[in-house]
Amino acid sequence: MFPILHSLAMFVIDFFKSPRRLEAENLFLRHQLSIALRRAPPRLRLRGSDGALMVWLTRLWPSLLGAAHVVQPCGLSAGAAYVANI
8 belongs to a structural domain: no
Q: What is the pLDDT of residues 15-38, one digit of tens each?
A: 888 888 888 888 888 888 888 777
Is residue 63 assigned to a domain?
yes
Q: Where are the alpha helices (DSSP H) in the chain?
A: 2-14, 19-37, 48-60, 78-84
Identify whether 61 is part of a domain.
yes
Q: What is the tally of structural domains in the chain?
A: 1
Assigned domain for 7 exists: no
Cβ neighbours around 28 below 10 Å, total: 19
Q: Which domain holds residue 73?
A: 18-84
Do residues 24 and 57 lie in contact, with contact meaning Cβ atoms separated by under 8 Å?
yes
Instruction: Note whether residue 30 is domain-resident.
Output: yes
Confidence of residue 73 (pLDDT cuts 50, 70, 90): low
Asked if residue 80 has pLDDT above 60, the reply is no
Using one digit for the tens of pLDDT, what is the confidence trace for 35-57? 877 765 666 677 888 888 888 88
Could you tell me if residue 11 is inside a domain?
A: no
> CA–CA separation, 54 vs 48, rounded Å?
10
Q: Is 41 contained in some domain?
A: yes
Whole-prediction pTM: 0.38
* Model pLDDT, residue 74: 57
